Amino acid sequence: MQYDVIVIGSGPGGYVAAIRCAQLGLKTALIEKYATFGGTCLNVGCIPSKALLDSSEHYHNATHTFAEHGIDVKEVKVNLKQMINRKNEVVAQTTAGITFLMKKNKVDTFEGLGSFKDKNTVKIALTKGGEQEITGKNVIIATGSKPTVLPFLKTDGKRIITSTEALNLTEVPKHLILIGGGVIGLELGSVYARLGAEVTVVEFMDGIIPTMDKTLGKELQKSLTKLGFKFLFSHKVTGAEVKGKKVTVTADSAKGEKVVLEGDY
């Protein structure tokens, strides 16, 4: 099977590239190792987190701002299971949309793990078993991202979790401890803070979103503080331990003081 372009990875980089190449008249193949297209963004990143942000904002408004607008609502409750279900429906709809676009633009798709045999030959370990080789004049690598796991702090997927597991919790945490004040942690932290969780951010640098504009970080911190966020800046996490339904996180402050935090996620 010979192609003008082979794209490895079907996230927003890969699927958009595949569509455009096909529209320009190039014979195009797209390889994806997961069962659905859309990569991290559509499956476990931007789309599901925005869906939960949307739902949690409705709840927050109902409990915090409706009254001042003269809207009285009695006994507002969080139905987390339905929030997660809606999020899953949004994900299913958007990923199905990518499948449709591949067919519409006549992009050949392969489900499996792509690897290079040489610069023009890609070997695909097919999900359904067996191998297939395809060749291409050009290859686009669009393999996406994964949550960073700290070498001294292993995730268990239950209490010490990444953003992926945070999208599918079965309960609102009582106390959610975020290691790192980057965009993904803060985004999911704000979902659960709106739903009633206590949220503490432990950040190694001296402010949140430290790789971005300092003024943005300060403004975002003001908004999150109003939601009830607590911040520990210039703190280095040294470990975490799970006992039953509790997680104990240890950290060192800039002054060398030992800090111990207890949460449930």
pLDDT tens digit sequence for 47-93: 999 999 999 999 999 999 999 999 999 999 999 999 999 999 999 99
CATH (domain of 211): 3.50.50.60
- Tell me how far CA of residue 73 lies from CA of 55, 77, 209, 262, in angstroms: 17, 11, 36, 34
- Predicted confidence at residue 149, as pLDDT, reads 85
Same-domain status, 218 and 257: yes
- Structurally, how many domains does the chain consist of? 2
- Predicted confidence at residue 54, as pLDDT, reads 98
pLDDT one-digit tens code per residue, 204-229: 999 999 999 999 999 999 999 999 99
Same-domain status, 79 and 191: no
Give the predicted TM-score (pTM) of the model: 0.92
Same-domain status, 17 and 111: yes
Same-domain status, 190 and 258: yes
> Is residue 152 situated within a structural domain?
no
Which residue segment(s) compose the domain that 113 sits in? 1-145
> Is residue 156 situated within a structural domain?
no
Nearest to 38 by CA among 29, 48, 28: 48
pLDDT band at residue 145 using 50, 70 and 90 as cut-offs: confident
> Is residue 154 situated within a structural domain?
no
> Is residue 22 situated within a structural domain?
yes
